[in-house]
Amino acid sequence: MRGSIIRRGKNSWRIKLDVPNAGAGRKTVYVTVRGTKKDADRERIRLAASAHDGTLVEPSRITVADYLRSWLSGAHGLARKTHERYLQLANAQVIPHLGHLALQALRPAHIDRWHSVLLTSGGKDGRPLSPRTVGHAHRVLHRALERAVKSELVARNVAHAIEPPKVEDVEVESLKADQIAPVLEALKDHWLEPIAVLALSIGARRGEVLGLPWECVDLSAATIRIERSLEQTKAGLYFKPPKSKRGRRTVALPPIAVETLQTHRRRQLEQRLAFGLGKPDEETLVFSSVDGSPIPPNNLSRDWRRFVRAKKLPPVSFHALRHSHASALIASGIDPATVSRRIGHANVSTTLNIYSHQFAETDAAAAKAIEATLKR
């Protein structure tokens, strides 16, 4: 079962292999591989070994749909929420358009046409999809094909050859400097107040705030350690580690946040004693439901929207409080590296990309300051 390799084109090779045919003699399997001769030889060896073990599935018969479903049946290092989103995108945007194609027959031209279809009529009831959503779907296919390359089912990742649609830069949603004080005033004595104050004070993500235990809060030193996040999936609520090493961080608290958390802790103690839950311990969540259970992140976002509408406040999402924190730091002249560390981005480039508009304004102000200095 050594097989043979025949050149079919500049970067195309056909493998010929004689294999057992389920007790009915032998059959010849032909597999086309794109890439170098070394790629083809590796595939020939893999196919021969699979045929010898009786586990051979002809790659030419595996469709994109088959492979995607098989790939998504395992976690492959994906967070639960990400896995859910990938499943949704694969079933709604990838498989209906590309699923019928043989995995080995997938070409860059298919990817290019797929993008065009999604952008014009890929949404519900034939509505166009946004470039951002098409980009997300492209990322799912690209990641799946990367795995296929490593598994030697295909010789190259054809999704790498076609760029996803360009997404226009949109200024991040945040509260302006003069809007923060009125929002805090409206929050006075509302259960959302300490949560919002903390989010504004340290720029933490929604899940990071809701997953915070008291053992990670040091009010004497005015610091908070971010070590996990609360994630909501269809299967339930889970605590997960930060997205990156830099997501695990210690953040200094401003005095207003320390004071707000001290008041919140006293109220929480009174409430827990009234419900017979006892004093908070190190594992008690800083923010929880009345019975001490975690607050689902989606519920927090929902209640924030209702509060904003009821109080006629600037119509921003809860996540905008994180952006408001970063924007305030940038406006104060804090360097990008410090901003990035404080909000837990994986690298400074992410911070620069997201807040490019604010950094541009700061840079313009710096140029004016230099001009004033030079004219003296």
Could you list the mean pLDDT of each consecutive 10-residue stretch along the chain, which spans 376 residues? 78 79 68 82 80 63 90 80 93 96 91 96 91 96 91 84 87 87 94 96 96 96 96 92 88 95 95 88 92 95 97 94 91 90 91 81 62 54
Residue in 267, 265, 297 with CA at minimum distance from that of residue 282: 265
Question: Hey, which residues does 18 pair with through a beta bridge?
Answer: 28
What pLDDT does 214 receive? Answer: 96
Residue with tokens 């997205």: 243
Phi/psi for 335 (5° steps) reads: -70, 155
Calculate the CA 274 to chain-centre distance: 40
Domains of the chain: 4-61 (no CATH), 64-160 (1.10.150.130), 177-327 (1.10.443.10)
- Please choose, from the candidates 322, 348, 325, 323, the residue with its C-alpha nearest in 3D space to the C-alpha of residue 207: 322
pLDDT of amino acid 41 = 87
pLDDT tens digits along 313-353: 999 999 999 999 998 898 888 899 999 999 999 899 988 88
> How high is the pLDDT of residue 185?
94
Tell me if 176 sits within 8 A of 225, measured CB to CB: no
Torsion, CA 75, CA 78, CA 82, CA 88, rounded to 10: -30
| 129 contact partners, CB below 8 Å, separation of at least 6 | 93, 118, 119, 122, 123, 137
* Residues 6+ away with beta carbon under 8 Å from 36: 11
11-41 per-residue burial string, b: 16 or more CB within 10 A, e: under 16? eebebebbbeeeeeeeeebebbbbbeeebbe
| Distance in angstroms (rounded) separating the CA atoms of residues 246 and 249 | 6
DSSP assignment of 112-149, as one string?
HHHHHHHHHH-SGGGPPPPHHHHHHHHHHHHHHHHHHH
φ and ψ at residue 246, rounded to 5 degrees = -75, -10
Burial of 98 from C-beta contacts in 10 A (0-12 / 13-18 / 19+): buried
Using the structure block, give the residue that is written with the tokens 């990322």.
139
* 8 A C-beta contact, residue 65 and residue 101: no
pLDDT at 368: 62
d(CA 111, CA 155): 16
pLDDT 10s digits, 277-325: 888 888 999 999 988 999 999 999 999 999 999 999 999 999 999 999 9
**Alpha-carbon separation of residue 362 from 20, 331, 350 (angstroms):** 70, 6, 17
- The predicted pLDDT at position 156 comes to 84
C-alpha distances (whole Å) from 312 to each of 47, 189, 195, 315 are 65, 17, 19, 8
The letter for the amino acid at 287 is F
Residue 52's φ and ψ, nearest 5 degrees, are: -65, -35
Q: In terms of C-beta density within 10 A (0-12 exposed, 13-18 middle, 19 or more buried), how is residue 278 classed?
A: exposed
Q: What is the pLDDT at residue 305?
A: 97
DSSP, res 156:
S
- Residue 211 has a pLDDT of 97
